[in-house]
Amino acid sequence: MRYYLLNLYLSRVAIVVLLDLFCFALAATLTWFALEPPVAPTSFALGAAVAGVGLFVLLHYTDAYGLMVIGSGRRTFMCISATAGILLIGSLAAWWVGSPELWQIETVAHTAGLTFAFLLVGRLGFRVISARPRFSQRVLIVGASDLGLAIARAVRDRRNLGADIAGFLSDDFEDQGAWLEGYPVLGRGHEIEKVLDREEIGRVVVASKRREEYFPAQELLQAKLEGRSVESGVAFYERVTGRIYLRDLRASYLIFSPGFRNGRLSLLAKRALDVVVAGAALALLWPLLGLAALAVKLDSPGAAFFSQERVGRFGRTYRLYKLRSMREGAEAQCGPAWADKDDARTTRVGRILRKARLDEIPQLWNVLRGEMSLVGPRPERPEFVQGLSERYPYFRARFALPPGITGWAQIRQGYVNEVSGWEEKLALDLYYMKYRSLSMDLLILWKTVKTVFLMSGV
């Protein structure tokens, strides 16, 4: 059976992280033997370990572990070069301030140069090896439905997934030679056995929906017994995209599908994380909050803070607190409206606060009060809930969890300013609700910190 490396955050990204750290460890080891710095090996190893963690953080913040970057040689070179540039500037700054000894400068320069070279060679080697057929899996899509086409598009847009779409099986085409989304139609449903052998298929994804279409149940069972993987198109789509497939979504899927667990122990763990992190953050950030509030007051007339009614868990409303980022009375004429990316109502200081997400610091108080969570679906205003619920039948399912300051949808898509944009947002929220865990919350918080430091908010 060929290796199946689809879930990148558990496979390929993890491999790349370990590969990068190995490259750094190798560079540090060679530096030790080449230069013999006058420090104890344990002290050198400890310093190297700290530097390795710093390297990982810098690579993460330059997006070197992004899925599209891993599959692109040009983007990989740019990210590693940016990391090297930051390290060089930091080293020069440290030299200017601390006046290090010559052997320290030589050690840093030697290690940095070897690390840069090893990272490029390691990434190149990984790309060459991972592109080999042995490290990917041939996938057959059964059914040319909207779901099947969506799966093909998702895999095509994520070429480094380790999944190679061989083509479709569909009864919608009489003649051979048809193509869908850049992939061939290999035959009809009853021809699945010969297609599996001929195309060396390792995984079958069933996306057939039409009742009149032939469903090869016995053939699929035999394929599974032979060692091939067989799974539903919905499950495959979720794992590839990180979102629920909303079209034709039925309540039965939400009811009987694994996940969507809100057990008492899980919620207690989530609440404990909220209280500890929110309390610590408020204790550390209150000076910054005070300075930001002063800047808001000096920049435009009006109160530094404002509160707004939002819909929380189980549909209950509460008052959400934020630093004011718009001019006073911004909705006096237009009424309730979504914020736009280049909203004219935003003040000069407000633009900075929103990009760094500093305007949301007061929501930590909402977290401590139990009205919100650190991670969850974005809280929405009551004025918009009715329209969104009418357009999207499962919108109110989001109210099963407390709303969050950040969340899976927020880090994956950001804000939306129109009703039509909520389809993707809801798909991401439902995915989070299905697969929610403490580790997933920590991952979201980690990525949110990156958004704050890079000021990549709206």
Specify the CATH number for the domain of residue 219.
Answer: 3.40.50.720
Q: At what angle are helices 41-61 and 102-130 packed, to 10 degrees?
A: 50
Domain check: are 12 and 114 in the same one? yes
In this prediction, residue 6 carries a pLDDT of 41
**2 within some domain:** no
In this prediction, residue 5 carries a pLDDT of 37
Mark which of 87, 114, 130 sits at the end of a domain.
Answer: 130
**249 within some domain:** no
Q: 1 CB contacts (<8 Å, ≥6 apart)? A: 202, 227
**256 within some domain:** no
Domain check: are 201 and 122 in the same one? no
Domain check: are 67 and 196 in the same one? no
Q: Which two tokens stand for residue 257?
A: 């599908």
**95 within some domain:** yes
**179 within some domain:** yes
Domain check: are 49 and 179 in the same one? no
**pLDDT digit of tens for each residue in the chain (458 aa)?**
333 334 444 577 888 889 999 999 999 999 988 887 787 888 888 888 988 888 888 898 888 887 678 777 788 888 888 888 887 787 777 767 766 677 777 888 888 889 999 999 998 888 877 767 666 788 999 988 899 999 999 988 877 777 889 999 988 876 667 888 889 999 888 889 999 999 989 899 999 877 667 788 899 999 999 888 899 999 899 988 889 998 888 888 888 888 788 778 888 999 999 999 999 999 999 999 999 999 999 988 888 998 999 999 999 999 999 999 888 876 666 666 666 666 678 889 988 888 888 899 999 999 999 999 999 999 999 988 888 888 888 999 999 999 999 999 988 886 776 777 788 899 999 999 998 988 889 989 988 888 888 776 66
Domain check: are 291 and 307 in the same one? yes
Domain check: are 225 and 273 in the same one? no
Domain check: are 167 and 282 in the same one? no
Domain check: are 60 and 163 in the same one? no
Domain check: are 120 and 149 in the same one? no
Mark which of 84, 115, 130 sits at the end of a domain.
Answer: 130
Domain check: are 299 and 351 in the same one? yes
**226 within some domain:** yes
In this prediction, residue 212 carries a pLDDT of 67
* Domain extent for 179: 136-241
* Domain total of the chain: 3
Give the global pTM.
0.82
